[in-house]
Structure 1
Amino acid sequence: MDRPSPPPAEDSEAARMTAWVRGRVQGVGFRWHTRARALAIGELRGFVSNLGDGRVQVVAEGSRERCALLLEWLREGDTPGRVEGVTEIWDTPRGGYEGFAIR
């Protein structure tokens, strides 16, 4: 599967990354672990939430580099459950988040 890459930019540039994670990712602690990873990476704001179709949505805002680290973990890290695929889009930050929440 082709993975869209973020547009060329400086690693420290502020970014918003929204990812949709498919697979067995609900009911296995995936949201808790995603929040813990975002907090460990540091300086990320946003949220992680279950969707009605079985996917998990992750919205992270921070430096492009830190968002990319979270995306890499979603794709290839030691996540709970079983990730079958991740689709993401990149945008400019919208703000309004305090910390990184589980919804």
Structure 2
Amino acid sequence: MTRSTRTALLCVIPAAMLALGASQALAASDGNTTGAAHPPVASSVSTWTPPEGFTREDSFYGMAAACESAGRNGIAEGRWSAYVCVPIAPFSPFHHLYVKR
């Protein structure tokens, strides 16, 4: 391995770890424009608190797709008006579903 390759790897690996470890919570609503909008929330999972009016509904193991699907289904069924899926920690397979009724 050449010196320039080694230097490049030393820069790329930490950047990739930061990108993969950065958490981003996704928010969605039923499209009602009369209510308050809930934009995506990006913050550290360890210090993350749900937006006002949101309560934890469920936890999911695996990809975030299961949480997102449950959130969309709840809106379609009228059980809540908005939802947020949040990974509980970087690299964790668990996601929490917070909903606003």
Rg larger in structure: 2
Q: Same fold (TM over 0.5)?
A: no
Q: TM-score, normalised by structure 2?
A: 0.34
Q: Does 1 or 2 have the higher relative contact order (CA < 8 Å, sep 6+)?
A: 1
